[in-house]
Amino acid sequence: MMINLKTPIYSEDVKDLKAGDVISITGTIYTARDQAHKRIVDDGEPFSLDGQVIFHAGPIIKEESEGYKVVAIGPTTSMRMNPYEADVIKKGVRVIIGKGGMDESVRQALIDNEAIYTVATGGCAALYVDSVEKTKGVTWLDLGVPEAMWELEVVSFGPLIVAMDSKGNSLYD
């Protein structure tokens, strides 16, 4: 059974989820890869991350007359964010979406902040884009399209598997 979470997402929404649970997300999610994570840690968050969802993804974007459209979006390897992720989670992020495992510092941050790490299936960029209703905005476009933080409105974005829960359990153990 898939559990649909609606943003903003807080500790009480994720604290009972277990590694192996399958979820989807409706509301706002933000993409953020290496350079965006580094900038958040070095320069501060561009907006409140409390209750937010971060997706490790570099979407393919098409500029249109009325704004931007996501053409494809799939997960990127999350371990690249290990040096920054614990600090980003401490800012109130409750759900991380990515691909592959993350390290012990992230596991501890998930426990300390009652957050979860979920995995999206690699190679399904065309599937996930169907859940993107619209692109609401972009931050740090100076980093380039894949590294910018894209604000996306999504409906039933998933399936996502809880790979690391807020109790320290991990599918990678």
Which residue numbers are catalytic?
A: 37
**In whole angstroms, how far apart are CA 25 and each of 62, 67, 114?**
23, 23, 17
**In whole angstroms, how far apart are CA 108 and each of 30, 78, 111, 117, 127?**
22, 16, 5, 12, 32
Spatial distance between the Cα atoms of 173 and 119, rounded to a whole number of angstroms? 15
Count of H-run helices and E-run strands, the chain: 5, 9
Spatial distance between the Cα atoms of 78 and 23, rounded to a whole number of angstroms? 18
Instruction: Check the CA dihedral 42-47-53-54 and report its sign.
Output: negative
65 contact partners, CB below 8 Å, separation of at least 6: none
90 contact partners, CB below 8 Å, separation of at least 6: 109, 112, 113
